[in-house]
């Protein structure tokens, strides 16, 4: 097979790109361009392979080879366990009624197992037991355990079907609604994801244990090649999802006052460059990873994640609009500049205040 030019501009179809990814010959810059639904399909293709499923429960010298590593401040949304109305779901493929009937059946099975056991043994695979052992511990048959295993993968692929975005944007593609920001008991905020593969976090790979396991299993060349391809996809996923989560974790802390008050004047201005510097990724990577994704705020308003990274001008406009309405436009630009700094912690020049004031005068009724 001829070598693939990694510097060539990406013009291939999603199906061709998936095959390229499985060959482990694609750069991170190409992987992050894939829409979330297509990426979920790729991961599911890997996770459905019998060899990968063996790897997921395999140990070498009592060490797990592959496991899920959850992020802090995140989990699966409670809506994962609820039925949706056919009037509010969307997507393509099977009819809504057929998909909802499948989900209804499997939610009953989850209820039989118990949510805590389901998440421990199926969603997060905390102990790395074989599916047979998991079935025994949960009091279900192996066939039912396989159904739950596949249900998680199907829900990852169908997340956009069950939770379509309601935003209208200028983009040709509709935004991907990834989850909901929720308030915790301690006052902090976290993410509840709609897709299981996002809630699971990253793949933790013990390369030394993998090497020993392969020797013990005496895999043939074909199986060893498949393992390499799988690991390549998992590592790309870790980069892609890792960049996404580090930005979200940063924004959950940065915009806490906004989440608490719903007041846009309480938003912290931040540039894409500053976010990228904080999470130690290139600005272009952050832009692509976060692009065209949306979240539900704690009060159920959907916004693009990029709107949680407002520039200084946008925040200052919100502050001035509020101040000028309450102060009846009596302060000078210099006084307003000082007031914005003292009350809102946003340092801005008098010149910027003048420009923003002029903008508001011409764009508000």
| One pLDDT digit (tens) per residue for the chain, 365 residues | 333 333 344 444 555 445 544 544 455 667 777 888 889 999 999 999 999 999 999 998 889 999 999 988 899 999 999 876 555 555 545 566 777 788 888 999 999 999 999 999 999 999 889 999 999 999 999 999 999 999 999 999 988 888 899 898 777 778 999 999 999 999 999 999 999 999 999 999 999 999 999 999 998 999 999 999 999 999 999 989 999 999 999 999 999 999 999 999 999 999 999 999 999 988 988 998 898 899 999 999 999 999 999 998 999 899 898 888 887 677 888 988 898 888 888 898 889 888 988 888 887 65
Which has the closest alpha carbon to 227: 239, 240, 242, 215? 215
Q: Are 104 and 221 in contact (CB under 8 A)?
A: no
pTM of structure: 0.83
d(CA 7, CA 30): 10
Q: How many residues does this entry show for the chain?
A: 365
């Amino acid at each position: 097979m001829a070598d693939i030019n990694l510097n060539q501009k990406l013009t291939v179809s999603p199906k061709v790109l998936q095959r390229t990814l499985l060959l482990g010959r694609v750069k991170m810059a190409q992987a992050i361009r894939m829409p979330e639904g297509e990426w979920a399909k790729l991961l599911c293709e890997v996770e459905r392979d019998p060899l990968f499923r063996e790897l997921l429960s395999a140990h070498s010298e009592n060490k797990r080879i592959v496991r899920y590593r959850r992020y802090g401040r995140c989990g699966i949304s409670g809506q994962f366990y609820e039925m949706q109305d056919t009037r509010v779901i969307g997507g393509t493929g099977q009819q809504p009624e057929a998909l909802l009937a499948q989900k209804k059946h499997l939610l009953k099975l989850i209820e039989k197992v118990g949510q805590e056991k389901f998440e421990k043994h199926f969603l997060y695979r905390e102990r790395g037991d074989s599916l047979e052992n998991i079935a025994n511990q949960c009091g279900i048959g192996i066939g039912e355990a396989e159904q739950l295993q596949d249900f998680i993968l199907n829900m990852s692929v169908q997340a956009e079907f069950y939770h379509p975005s309601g935003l209208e944007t200028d983009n040709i593609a509709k935004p991907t609604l990834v989850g909901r920001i929720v308030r915790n008991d301690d006052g902090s905020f976290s993410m509840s994801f709609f897709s299981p593969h996002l809630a699971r976090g990253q793949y933790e790979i013990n390369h030394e244990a993998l090497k020993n396991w392969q020797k013990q299993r005496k895999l043939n060349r074909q199986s060893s090649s498949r393992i390499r391809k799988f690991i390549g996809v998992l590592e790309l996923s870790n980069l892609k999802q890792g960049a996404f989560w580090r930005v979200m974790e940063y924004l959950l802390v940065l915009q806490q006052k906004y989440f608490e008050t719903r007041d846009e004047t309480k938003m912290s201005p931040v540039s894409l460059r500053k976010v990228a510097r904080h999470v130690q990724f290139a600005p272009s990577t952050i832009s692509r990873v976060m692009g065209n994704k949306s979240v539900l705020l704690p009060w159920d308003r959907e916004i693009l994640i990029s709107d949680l990274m407002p520039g200084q001008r946008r925040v200052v406009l919100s502050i001035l609009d509020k101040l000028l309405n309450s102060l009846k436009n009596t302060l000078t630009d210099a006084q307003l500049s000082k007031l914005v700094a003292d009350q809102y912690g946003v340092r801005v020049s008098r010149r910027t205040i003048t420009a923003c004031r002029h903008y508001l005068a011409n764009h508000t009724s």
